[in-house]
Amino acid sequence: MFLSQNFIRNKNLAAHIVGLASFGINDLVIDIGAGMGNLTRELARVCGRVLAVEIDSDLIPVLAKNLATNVTIYNQDFLAFNLPRTPYKVFANLPFHITAEIVKKLLGSKSPPVESYLIMQKEAAQKFSGTPHETQFSLLDKPYFNFETVYIFKKSDFDPEPDVETVLLKIVKRNEPLVTKANKILYQNFIKFAFNTWKKDLKVGLKKTFTYEQWKRLAKDNNFNIHAKPTDLSFPQWLKLFEFYKTRG
């Protein structure tokens, strides 16, 4: 029995969405949830090496048919898969029920992918990318990655058809992080504290962190409402708050 996977029906669509990625002959690409191989075969045409990871042993014989020699199949759970230490990219048709776990594994790795193209539920993509409002998850990762939805699927693109809207989310590692390694833990703790301790608004939740006068000045200088909630602030506004938090006396 296939394990909670929705397969791309059309080979032309598989070729189109792979074409949206900036893959080349020098790239090592991990195909997570390779399934029946429609995406795997297209990846093999444009990439130097493809590591096809598929947990469902029933799919391996189908996946293995007519694959190019630059594809290596791994019949295992991606969550237990050892990520490469050398630069790599990812293309994945994610099982919806473990999307968050896979994204956290990729972005939280000591060697995260240079680029990822992830087919996922639209609601999950909005959470990860902070669209239309920032989330704790998006704010924790945006100093290190850019997020962009690059394709919106129709339900009929998949077999079986999903009950939810599905998109292709592009995640690119920043060449230069917006929060330094030395300040990473401080930044993460600041964001988590702000999201998990606010009451009726951030002014009240952060009253032990910023004085009323400091908060009023921050709101005015960075153009947000003095009674803003965590999701009301943009990523640049959160960066400004953090910069002040680091240097406050």
* Mean pLDDT by groups of 10 residues along the chain of 249 residues: 70 95 96 94 96 95 93 97 97 93 96 97 97 96 98 94 94 97 96 88 93 96 96 97 87
Tell me what pLDDT residue 132 has: 95
> Which pLDDT value is given to residue 7?
85
So what's the pLDDT on residue 200?
Answer: 84
**Cα torsion 217, 223, 228, 233: sign:** negative
